[in-house]
């Protein structure tokens, strides 16, 4: 249940407790290990209270997924694809940097792949499918482009996290833009990347 600020204070505190405990549990375990019983015990509420706001744990997860993907979609909604793919990639890294441990777990952990794919699909629907160029190429090419772009961006982010984010985000954005927009040729020859990304 998304809070609007008009709810009774007790309702607000209950929803905030549910969300807070849910996010703690995401950081500690895989989604399939979570139970409503444990969440309620940690949040100090009874199961009936939980079910008043969320019919299932999946509904709570969907709410979190929708919030995360909606915020990112809003940030990139004015970019044109494929022309501004470098800006979309940069926005992804900048958005991801400030999201914290819950976001990192959902984005990086193998056990959250289906959750991650749900968010990625929402982003793709809101971005690539607005491109006239994209919609006019054969379907198999659209599939290949989406797989290439989404896999590359997410995997580069995951690798940066796995490396403890030792490299400054500016350098990661620059390298990932070179790779995504120009491939290995752009990596081997930075002048190609400069021409493509405008940097």
Query: How big is the chain, counted in residues?
Result: 199
Residue 146 token pair: 């989406």
- pLDDT tens string 1-51: 555 556 678 888 999 999 999 999 999 999 999 999 999 999 999 999 999
**How far apart are alpha carbons 178 and 188 in whole angstroms?**
9
Cis preceding-peptide flag for 75 (omega within 30 of 0):
no
Q: Is the dihedral of CA 13, 16, 21, 22 positive or negative?
A: positive
* CA-wise closest residue to 36 among 25, 20, 47, 48: 47
Please tell me the pTM assigned to this model.
0.82
- pLDDT tens string 88-119: 999 999 999 989 899 999 999 988 888 888 88
Q: Is the dihedral of CA 178, 179, 185, 188 positive or negative?
A: positive
**How far apart are alpha carbons 119 and 84 in whole angstroms?**
20
């Amino acid at each position: 249940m998304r809070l609007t600020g008009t709810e009774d204070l007790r309702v607000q505190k209950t929803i905030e407790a549910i969300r807070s405990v849910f996010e703690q549990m995401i950081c500690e375990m895989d989604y399939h290990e979570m139970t409503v019983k444990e969440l309620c015990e940690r949040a100090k509420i009874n199961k009936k209270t939980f079910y008043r706001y969320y019919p299932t744990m999946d509904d709570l997860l969907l709410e979190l997924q929708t919030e995360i993907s909606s915020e990112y979609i809003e940030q990139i909604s004015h970019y044109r694809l494929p022309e501004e793919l470098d800006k979309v990639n940069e926005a992804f890294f900048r958005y991801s940097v400030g999201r914290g441990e819950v976001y990192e777990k959902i984005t990086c952990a193998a056990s959250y792949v289906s959750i991650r794919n749900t968010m990625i699909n929402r982003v793709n629907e809101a971005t690539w499918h607005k491109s006239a160029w994209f919609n006019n190429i054969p379907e198999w090419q659209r599939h290949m482009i989406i797989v290439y772009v989404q896999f590359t961006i997410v995997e580069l982010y995951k690798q940066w996290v796995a490396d403890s984010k030792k490299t400054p985000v500016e350098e990661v954005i620059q390298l990932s833009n070179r790779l995504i927009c120009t491939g290995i040729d752009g990596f081997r020859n930075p002048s190609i990347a400069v021409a493509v990304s405008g940097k």
